[in-house]
Amino acid sequence: MRIILYIFFIAAVLLASYGFYIGQEDVARSQLCIGLGVSTLFFIWMPTFVYYRWKGKDVKQYMLNQENILKMRKYTNNNKL
């Protein structure tokens, strides 16, 4: 999964960079490359990255509920800076 993330990230950055490089020579192809690079980054790479990083973790630990609010208040009261 990690290698797939690297491949998608590098491909998206290279595609967008190529689009900026050919900017004034072929405007239509430039805009297409930049758009595909950004779309790949946000619609393929980002969800895959989020899934990879959150796989197997307890989401309740990061939710803001009454119990966690009380824990945060207790922690800040005990550790005043």
Q: Where are the domains of the chain?
A: 2-78
Q: What is the pLDDT of residues 44-74, one digit of tens each?
A: 999 999 999 988 888 887 888 998 899 889 9
Give the pLDDT band (50/70/90) at residue 14: very high
Residue 56: per-residue pLDDT? 86
Name the nearest CA neighbour of 41 among 60, 66, 15, 18: 15
Q: Is the model's pTM score more than 0.75?
A: no
Q: Is the pLDDT confidence value at 28 over 80?
A: yes
